[in-house]
Amino acid sequence: MSEFIDLVNLVKIYKTPKGDAVIVDGFNLKMNQGEFVSIIGHSGCGKTTVLSMTAGLLEKSGGNVVVDKKEVAGPGPDRAVVFQAPNLLPWMSTLNNVMLGVNQVYPHASKKERHQICEYFLNIVGLGDSMHKMPNELSGGMQQRVGIARALALKPKMLLLDEPFGKLDSLTRMDLQDILIKILDKNQMTTMMVTHDVDEAIYLSDRIVMMTNGPAAKVGEILEIPFEKPRTRSEILEDPRYYELRGRLLSFLEEQDHKKKEFKPKAKIEKPADEPDDNSEIKKSA
């Protein structure tokens, strides 16, 4: 497999009223074409920051993002992003929400062809019957599927997923994980996914990157997931290696938690009021 993504020494310094906050400092990661890498780490460590710099949506303070051997400076249709909330335009139908991106990526296609592209991807995520519904007529899980269809319809080389299933109930979450696996089986896309769910990370990933706590977060450890693909949940759950991997992830997070408690910053980095500052979002349930 060839190397497709190279994140070289990424640095992010946010300017705050109390001075510069070095959030990410020297984040290095190479990803092969078609590889699925999850990023896991405590809330506020800088996962979204790394993902957004990779997407080109956030300016870097240092380092390089290299995609297919070319350094990229900004966003592009080669890298599609799905966030926790799909942010659909409420005045547009499901179809037209997907069409927005398709219009940009296929400007020379006929209206009929663009319609077919949207239809194809909405069918893939199981929304063939809801194409003409408005976002407020869709459940949270259905809206998230539109977000995934919208990203896929751009025919990206890379998918960047920031807790894409974080707001969904566990059954819908499992359903969408399986849909994602099927899509990635058919379309070899290099995928980076931020998640708080260790089980989701093990089920979907080829490798899991564990980030150290901020400030100055970087790659702490990388866990290779040895299970062959395609995978089934039951096979994984029966494999004793699953419990070892899970144990390693949880103990890394616990070690980071201890370090965080020992760490007494000179200048406190402000967090938004709604951001938890403990490990409460890390899901431990199987």
Ligand X SMILES: Nc1ncnc2c1ncn2[C@@H]1O[C@H](COP(=O)(O)OP(=O)(O)OP(=O)(O)O)[C@@H](O)[C@H]1O
Of the two residues 46 and 156, which places its CB atom closer to ligand X in the complex?
46
Which residues are bridge partners to 194 per DSSP?
A: 39, 162
Q: How many CB atoms lie within 10 A of CB 6?
A: 16
Distance CA 105, CA 227 (A): 35
Which two structure tokens, joined as six digits, stand for 3? 């190397």
Q: Measured between alpha carbons, how far is 267 from 255 in angstroms, rounded to an integer? A: 23
Which of the 8 DSSP states describes residue 283?
Answer: B
| Interaction of residue 219 with ligand X, rule CB under 6 A | no
Binding-site member from 7, 29, 40, 46 for ligand X (CB under 6 A): 46
Interacting residue with ligand X among 49, 97, 130, 205 (CB under 6 A): 49
Beta strands in the chain (DSSP E): 3-16, 19-32, 36-40, 62-67, 70-71, 79-82, 158-162, 190-194, 207-211, 219-224
In the complex, what is the shortest distance from the CB of residue 141 to Mg ion, in angstroms, rounded to a whole number? Answer: 20
Using alpha carbons, select from 22, 35, 32, 27 the residue that is nearest to residue 10: 27
Number of residues that bind Mg ion (CB under 5 A): 1
Using the rule CB under 6 A, is 275 a contact of ligand X?
yes
- Please report how close the Cβ of residue 145 comes to Mg ion at its closest, in angstroms: 21
Give the shortest CB-70-to-ligand X separation in angstroms. Answer: 25
d(CA 24, CA 16): 15
Structure tokens of 282? Answer: 């890390």
Taking CB under 6 A as the binding criterion, the range among 14-22, 61-69, 74-82, 91-99 that sits at the site for ligand X is 14-22
Provide, rounded to whole angstroms, the least separation between the CB of residue 265 and ligand X.
Answer: 11
8 A C-beta contact, residue 81 and residue 163: no
With contacts defined by CB under 6 A, name the span among 39-47, 118-126, 176-184, 201-209 that binds ligand X: 39-47
Tell whether residue 48 is a contact of Mg ion (CB under 5 A): yes
Radius of gyration of the chain (CA): 19
279 binds ligand X (CB under 6 A): no
Window contacting Mg ion (CB under 5 A); options: 47-55, 111-119, 142-150, 200-208: 47-55
Residues near ligand X, by CB under 6 A: 14, 16, 21, 23, 41, 43-49, 214, 269, 271-272, 275
